[in-house]
Amino acid sequence: MKKVEKYGLFELRIQGAEDFSATFSQDGESIEIKGFQINERETAVRFMPRRKGVWHYRAGDLQGEFLCVPNTGKNHGPVERNGYHFRYADGSAYFPIGTTCYAWIHQTPELITQTLESLENSPFNKIRMLVFPKDMPYNKNDPDLYPFLKKDDGTWDVSRPDFAFWRHLESGIEKLGELGIEADLILFHPYDRWGFSKLTHEESLIYLEYCIRRLSAYRNIWWSLANEYELVTSKTLDNWMDIGEKISKEDIYGHPISVHNIMNVFPKTDWLTHCSIQNSEVKRVIQWRKEYELPVIIDECGYEGNIEFDWGNLSGFELIHRAWTTVACGGYITHGETFFREDEVLWWAKGGKLYGESVARFAFLKEIQYEIGELTPIGGRIDVDFENSPIPSENPVIAAIANAVLNMPEWERKLFLLRMQPAVSSNENRRLHYLGRTCPAFQEIMLPENGVYRIEVLDIWEMTRTAACEGVSGKIKVPLPGKEGIVILVTRIAGESLN
């Protein structure tokens, strides 16, 4: 009997039969899976079993069974939303430490191999990547393969997939899965000279149906509807809503779904599993958590590099500073790198090698995240009802500040309040204070009186941990090195929770 790991991929093929589907059953549960044309002669159905034991299948007169065995190694199943956070389907912890490498599958075999080698030696467990090729500075090459064949008039025929392209794409997804990396697959984008961004809504749905049927059984798939969705001008908000609904309905495995923005964060909907946000004001994670009640990933806050564009010339320290700020505000962040090269092989676009200083620091951040677990931000309120709040009058300076805040536009007021509050988050056993670009010689913190706690000082750039205080409680004066990028990490030894 054929054996397939739990969360693995079982494939069934049949000659011809374009409308082929199969039913998989176990212990009274039945799941119907629709097929797709996998090559010129065959149609296939792919199924990801989520329970161990014998599964039976039937497709017309064809029937059989296979044995689902325990998952092993880096196979923890698909990533699922878990409140404001994520986890694997088998219950294992998952904290996204992603990178952006948009068009890596559209490069030469040698460069693709180099990219995978770089990823294998990196801390990254998610990668933002495109289905369609991309046309913008440092990314001008024509790929060897395209998702569809063309009609006689030269336009794309979305009903005729180029099977070689899809085999190539899923080979990349499989290799990422072997490395324990989630493929955050971007389905549409505006940087295009080939016509993919101008597909009609009907054509887009045909393409998506094929894409979902072919790829959704891979455990490491995420769906990102678009990169900078507002710039895909051929699509309306209603179109995006249709697309999200279709993915949510057709993907029976419930992979994560998001939409990446350039200016306005995509509206809250029932099918969004998390926010995928482009913004350098990373403290706004606190605001978006409140508004969306979903996990928040800052998928683009700028890139470590030295190219001419403002978004692509951050220092390594600035990027990792934004990363720690995001985590301390209860969110997650994605790495990116854009160092100029004469051959125009920049990681953010094409992959290859990683040259930046932030990668090792992301590894340190990942180590700390997995050690301390899920965090909830501790901060001042950003939704204060100023119109009905009394303004203090006993202190003229405070009264003047309160009046100034009261007269701000609402969006400006929220940003002001967010910038004023510290980046602090906690769970039952840990509290993390990130001091950002300030350089204090000491910091006073308040701990519960009914507990015993340990305090460490972390340096996010030097990647060091130094014991500061042991067995303490109440008001504590923590000595600090007086430099940027310092974290105060409190650990509960006994007694009262740090929540």
Q: Which two tokens stand for residue 149?
A: 């064949």
- My answer on whether 402 and 307 are in the same domain is no
Residues 412 and 365 in one domain: no
For the stretch 293-322, pLDDT in tens is 999 999 999 999 999 999 999 999 999 999
74 within domain boundaries: no
CATH number at residue 443: 2.60.40.3950
**Integer angstrom CA distances of residue 46 from 5, 56, 60, 99, 214:** 14, 14, 16, 28, 7
Render pLDDT for 262-288 as a digit per residue (tens, 0 to 9).
Answer: 999 999 999 999 999 999 999 999 999
Among 334-348, 420-434, 482-496, name the one with the lowest average pLDDT. Answer: 420-434
Q: Which has the minimum average pLDDT: 8-22, 295-309, 319-333? A: 8-22
Mention every residue, 6+ apart, whose C-beta is less than 8 A from residue 383: 290, 414
For position 490, what pLDDT does the model report? 98
Whether the predicted pLDDT of 497 surpasses 60 = yes
Residues 133 and 223 in one domain: yes
If pLDDT is split at 50, 70 and 90, which confidence band does 19 have? confident
Domain that holds residue 489: 428-499
341 shares its domain with 372: yes
Q: Give me the pLDDT at residue 304, please.
A: 98
- 190 within a domain of the structure (yes/no): yes
247, pLDDT greater than 80:
yes
* pLDDT at residue 398 in the model: 66
CATH number of the domain enclosing 173: 3.20.20.80
Burial (CB count <10 Å: 0-12, 13-18, 19+), residue 363: middle
Give the pLDDT mean for 122-144. 97
Mean pLDDT of the chain: 94
Same structural domain for residues 189 and 263? yes
Residue 243 in this model has a pLDDT that exceeds 70: yes
Q: Are both 336 and 467 inside the same structural domain?
A: no
Mean pLDDT for 222-251 is 98
pLDDT tens, residue by residue, 54-103: 999 999 889 999 999 999 999 999 999 999 999 999 999 999 999 999 99
Q: Containing H/E element for 37? A: strand 36-37
Q: What is the pTM of this model?
A: 0.93
470 Rama sector, left if φ>0, alpha if ψ -120 to 50, beta otherwise: beta
At residue 23 the predicted structure's pLDDT band, cuts being 50, 70 and 90, is very high
Over the Cα atoms of the chain, what is R_g? Answer: 25
Written as six digits, the tokens of 231 are 């710039």
What are the distances in angstroms from CA 136 to CA 314, 470, 494? 19, 54, 55
8 and 42 both lie in a single domain: yes
Q: What does the pLDDT read at residue 422?
A: 74
Please write the tens of the pLDDT for every residue from 367-419: 999 999 999 998 655 555 545 555 556 677 767 767 677 777 876 776 776 66
Helices 163-178 and 109-120 meet at what angle, rounded to 10?
20
In the chain, the number of structural domains is: 4
Q: Domain ends where: 420, 443, 475? A: 420
